[in-house]
Amino acid sequence: MLSAIVHEVAHGWVALRCGDATAKEAGRLTLDPRAHLDGFGSVVLPLVMALLGGPVFAFARPVPYDPRRLRHPRRDELLVALAGPASNVLQALVGALVLRAAWDPLLGAVVSGAAPFEVVSWVVTILSTYVSVNLVLCFFNLIPLPPLDGSKVVLYFLTGDARRAYYQIQQYAMPILVVALYIVPQLLHVDPIGRYLDATAGSLYGLLLGGL
């Protein structure tokens, strides 16, 4: 949820830089969880998904913004959309740098007996999970289906009939996600979103933390 909150604040901060102060006026440019947590998306949804045994994810309340207040609406909407995933990449980089910098001292502490193995293992697990979660959040949000950020990226490149056709597809976005996340893997034993995340988030995770 920390990563998701930073993701949402990044959207609002870039919108502010582009002329739209809606998020600031709503009190959403803060890391205080109380301003961002969503009863369904932050609590109920991840619990239900865990009980179903499939992929588990959660989301914070989307930060509001008004495209009419953006100085260059077409360009700035794309920048606002990309700000969230970009913030997750930055968080993953920070987590990876911290873990790499701490790796040798942590191992040395275990060998010397200065720190219990369980404590060091706990620290490594938290940092590596932080990297992994942020990479998954980045690339999952780039899937081109609303309300995910990837839908705004796709719209930037569409005009005319193609744009109208995409708007028609948007109404089926959530059913498509549910089918791809749960039904296709169960019935066809093929996990398209899992493969996509392995190829993107998984590969980048390997580049950042490979060798540790």
Asked whether the predicted pLDDT for residue 152 surpasses 90, the reply is no
In degrees, rounded to 5, the angle at the alpha carbon of residue 189 between the alpha carbons of residues 56 and 57 is: 10
What separation in angstroms does the CA of 20 have from each of 15, 32, 36, 42, 85?
A: 5, 21, 19, 26, 19
pLDDT at 44: 84
Average pLDDT in the chain: 89
Residue 22: pLDDT band by 50, 70, 90 thresholds?
very high
The whole-number pLDDT of residue 159 equals 84
Q: Write out the catalytic residue numbers.
A: 8
Place 61 in a pLDDT band, splitting at 50, 70 and 90. Answer: confident
Residue 62 DSSP symbol: P
Task: Determine contact, residues 131/95, Cβ cutoff 8 Å.
Answer: yes
Q: Which residues contact 120 (CB under 8 A, 6 or more apart)?
A: 106, 107, 109, 110
Residue 92 confidence (pLDDT) above 90: yes
Q: Which helix (H) or strand (E) holds 71?
A: none
Q: What is the pLDDT of residue 55?
A: 64
Q: Check whether 100 has a pLDDT greater than 90.
A: yes
Q: Is the pLDDT of residue 30 over 80?
A: yes
pLDDT for the residue 54: 63
Cα 106 from Cα 112, distance rounded (Å): 10
Domain parsing of the chain, residue ranges: 2-209
Q: pLDDT of 164-183, one tens digit each?
A: 888 777 777 778 877 877 78
The SS3 of residue 190 is: coil
Q: Extract the tokens encoding 125.
A: 């697990």
Structure tokens at 88: 């997750």
- The stretches of the chain forming alpha helices (DSSP H) are 2-17, 22-25, 45-52, 73-112, 117-141, 149-156, 160-170, 173-178, 184-188, 192-197, 203-209
Q: Which two tokens stand for residue 3?
A: 């990563």
pTM value surpassing 0.85: yes
